[in-house]
Structure formats: structure tokens, C-alpha cells
Amino acid sequence: MARKNPRTRPARTEVARSNEDTPNAVWFKPVMFGFMLLGLAWIIVFYVSGSQLPIAGLGAMNILVGFGIAFIGFLMTTRWR
């Protein structure tokens, strides 16, 4: 029976983490939810104001702007770790 040398360390079998496995930055989740809530607020303000706010010149396009802002937040959820 051979004795193991206590000074030698076993070989590392861990694989280095790729960028996909690393957690998100601290700011990622608040920005993601912020985009979703901002888009929702944009749409609600548009309906409540009777098409006068947030930007009266856009008219019904304000709905697309609101959904676009919220969509950015939903796209960010695919990168959430």
C-alpha cells in the first residue's frame, strides 16, 4: 500500500466558467423591471389622459412606444441569470 504525499494537491477538474454562466450585474434586474414598468405606465398614461399624453403628436403610436419599451424589458429576461 503506497502512502499519498500530503503536500500534493489533486488535479483540478473544474472547467472555467463561460460568460453565459456568470451572474448578472447588480443593476440588471432593476433596469429590466424598470423598462417593463415604464412601458406599462406609458400605456396607462396614454389611455387615462385621453390621447393627450405622454406625447400628443404621436397619437395612437404612443401604444407602440409603450409596448416597445416594455418589450425591451421582456427581452432582457432572456439574459437574466
pLDDT at 51 over 90: no
pLDDT-based confidence at 78, cuts 50/70/90?
A: very high
Share of the chain above pLDDT 90, in %: 59
**Threshold 0.85, pTM exceeds:** no
**ω into residue 54 within 30 of 0, thus cis?**
yes
Of these ranges, 1-5, 16-20, 57-61, the one predicted with the greatest mean pLDDT is 57-61
What is the average pLDDT across 1-12?
Answer: 67
